Amino acid sequence: MFEDRRLLWRLKRGDKDALRFIYEAYQSDLVTLAANLLHDPATAEDVVQDVFIGLVRSVPRLELRRTLRAYLATAVANRVRDHYRRMPRAAAAPLEDAGHVPARGDGPVQMVIDDEDMQKLRSAVAGLPYEQREVIMLRVHTGLKFREIAKHQNTSIKTALSRYQYGLDKLRSMMDGEVST
């Protein structure tokens, strides 16, 4: 938290190195978060850019009451919600074409299996109710605490935890072919 405040202090003074540091430190997680919520990598990158532009514009008035990571992650989640509100029926670009990080497989066969599994998982995530998907992605990709996620979703910690658990259960079922995606 102290490091975040120091970075913000530098940002308030127009220090571009601080801005570059913040961007490099968080952009990967934020793009991942947005892409998993939107299923549209190009829009996800736009969302992350908008969040950073919003940060530099609001920085003179910004009072950091939580970590910078939590601030940026919830800002991304809010922008994604705005995007859905504006374009509820927007067609998402296929995630297969996205610049996702390659599977980790050890050999050619394992790599194919991994790719299949990850592809299944992507589809399964896309089929989750939005609130569950959001809890899971905020938790897994930005490390937000359930307390912070609950605050963002304007709900109780218990509900956030339940959404996380239900979401995981549903993903397991989908991956095992029990539920149609």
Partner 1 sequence: MSTNEPLESMLRRLRYQAADERRRKTLANIFSAMDESHEHAPTVHRAQIWRLTMNTRTGRLALAVAVILIVLGGVTFWPFGGKNGRWVGGSLAAWAQELQATLDTIKAVTCRERSVLVAADGSQRMSSPWDRFYVSSDSYRRDIYDGNTLREIQVYVPDGNDMVQHYLRFDLKCYGALRHKGRFGVQDPIERIRQYAELLHKADQFLGEQVVDGHKCVGFEISASRYGSNPETWLDRIWFDEETRLPVRIEESGRPVMGDSTRTFTTIQDQFDYAPQLPADSFIPQQPPADFVNAHPDELRK
- Can you give the binding site for partner 1, defined by CB under 8 A? 2-6, 8-10, 12-14, 16, 19-20, 23, 27-28, 31-32, 35-36, 41, 44-45, 48-49, 52-53, 56-57, 59-65, 98-101, 103-104, 113-114, 116-118, 120-122, 125, 136, 140-141, 168, 171-172, 175-176
CA 91 to chain centre: 19
Cα gap 170→59, rounded to integer Å: 40
**What number of CA atoms fall less than 13 Å from residue 157's CA on the CB side?**
5
| Least distance to partner 1, CB of residue 48, Å | 7
CB-nearer residue toward partner 1: 143 or 156: 143
CB-nearer residue toward partner 1: 31 or 150: 31
- Phi, psi (deg, nearest 5) at residue 143: 70, 20
| Least distance to partner 1, CB of residue 136, Å | 7
CB-nearer residue toward partner 1: 101 or 154: 101
93 touches 41 (CB < 8 A): yes
CB-nearer residue toward partner 1: 22 or 150: 22
**Residue 97 DSSP code:** G
Cα gap 117→129, rounded to integer Å: 20
